[in-house]
Amino acid sequence: MCAHTAANRGKSVLVVDHANKAGKKILMSGGGRCNFTNYYIEPSRYLCHNPHFCKSALSRYTQWDFIALVEQHGIPYHDKGEGELFCDNKSSDILNMLLQECESAGAQVQLDTEVVAIERESTTSPYSLQTSKGHYSCDSLVIASGGLSIPTLGATGFGYKIAEQFGLNVYPTRAGLVPFMITDQLKEVCTALSGSSCRVEATCNGKSFNTDMLFTHRGLSGPAILQISSYWNPGDALEINLLPEVDLAESLRQAQHEKPKMLLKNYLGQWLTQKMAEKLLEFWGYSGQISQLTGADMDAIAEHFHRWQLIPSGTEGYRTAEVTLGGVDTDEVSSKTMEAKKQPGLYFIGEVLDVTGHLGGFNFQWAWSSGWAAAQAI
């Protein structure tokens, strides 16, 4: 994004990538269909130590600008819900679009090239790069190396090391948009329900998400869990409302009059799967007919299902995380140009910065917007 935008402004641009294939994360994103942006891009959908930092870039290169580029290339797409835009066909449509833009603008993309060292004699001299394919020098150096998520795709801490080398503060990093691991007695329930999903409201540290949750053989996943994971810290309790649309205590009292002989697991199975209702009731020690329940039982069952409290043992980490929280301190970088304040000509864009979007196309939009913003200043 940054390369073709800068090249279109007449700059001589070389993209140096250590991977053997361009855009691997684009290709695997969105289940192979690339959730490339969202209709509802708002600064509030991003985590950053400085919540105002992302406003400038997002307002100057918007989702509508990227959508226009997608439409210009004739790429069919659809709204999967909640403004999440996906390719109708494959993620490669987006990657090929960006590569075509680079080619037509004259920006070169060089793969299989490892950057061994970066040096600069003074703040007025060019940057000198030693790579596995020779030496390069440049007046403007853009770090677009992403975070630590999914190392099997080539993710490294390269960008953080460069920031520290040139004196910039880097916030500690951790996995975000990542499934939770469960290792206590609840693990058996998660394993038994692996593959089952339901709509929940997940809450942690004052933030809530109302969408789907998925049980896995390792713990919990699904959009609600991935979203709330970015607000969770080790040791924090997670609260899950398994029936956000129902007042269970009131509903059970009504059912005791209308369907007293109905099995409790069957009654709850109308909202959850039968298996889910059965395993969770078993875990909390309830069974039998609705007629057998006391008022206190009904309140206790409602409390379990509406305010299920659990403490995950951890997350699955960078291996499956979609993003990396933390990174280059945005106070060290201009919000308008993405240029390091202490190092003229050094730019940081995308996920390497301490800007992390919600699930749903927000991180890609930050990549497009921050890349475009830097390209205007190079």
267 within a domain of the structure (yes/no): yes
* 128 in Cβ contact with 137 (< 8 Å): yes
Residue 296 class from Cβ within 10 Å (0-12 exposed, 13-18 middle, 19+ buried)?
exposed
pLDDT at 176: 98
Domain's final residue, options 315, 341, 369: 315
Residue 261 class from Cβ within 10 Å (0-12 exposed, 13-18 middle, 19+ buried)?
exposed
Q: How large is the average pLDDT for residues 277-290?
A: 96
Please check whether residues 237 and 341 belong to one and the same domain: no
Please check whether residues 118 and 151 belong to one and the same domain: yes
Please check whether residues 268 and 356 belong to one and the same domain: no
pLDDT tens digits along 152-200: 999 999 999 999 999 999 999 999 999 999 998 899 999 999 999 999 9
Please check whether residues 26 and 136 belong to one and the same domain: yes
321 within a domain of the structure (yes/no): no
244 within a domain of the structure (yes/no): yes
121 within a domain of the structure (yes/no): yes
Please check whether residues 55 and 135 belong to one and the same domain: yes
pLDDT at 184: 87
Domain's final residue, options 315, 335, 361: 315
245 within a domain of the structure (yes/no): yes
Average pLDDT, the chain: 97
pTM for the whole structure: 0.95
Please check whether residues 40 and 150 belong to one and the same domain: yes
Please check whether residues 206 and 152 belong to one and the same domain: no
231 within a domain of the structure (yes/no): yes
User: Which of 61-65, 181-185, 251-255, 321-325 bottoms out in mean pLDDT, i.e. has the lowest?
Assistant: 181-185
Other C-beta atoms within 10 Å of 78: how many?
11
Please check whether residues 372 and 282 belong to one and the same domain: no
Q: Does position 369 have pLDDT exceeding 90, yes or no?
A: yes
pLDDT at 232: 98
The domain tally of the chain equals: 2
pLDDT at 185: 85
pLDDT tens digits along 96-119: 999 999 999 999 999 999 999 999
The parent domain of residue 350 ranges over: 2-171+326-377
* Structural tokens at position 178: 């990542």
266 within a domain of the structure (yes/no): yes
pLDDT at 368: 98
Q: Does position 365 have pLDDT exceeding 90, yes or no?
A: yes
**Domain of residue 206, CATH code:** 2.40.30.10
Please check whether residues 128 and 190 belong to one and the same domain: no
What percentage of the chain exceeds 70 in pLDDT? 100
pLDDT tens digits along 326-350: 999 999 999 999 999 999 999 999 9
Please check whether residues 277 and 340 belong to one and the same domain: no
Please check whether residues 165 and 40 belong to one and the same domain: yes
Please check whether residues 19 and 165 belong to one and the same domain: yes
What percentage of the chain exceeds 90 in pLDDT? 99
Predicted confidence band of residue 361 (pLDDT cuts 50, 70, 90)? very high
320 within a domain of the structure (yes/no): no
pLDDT at 194: 97
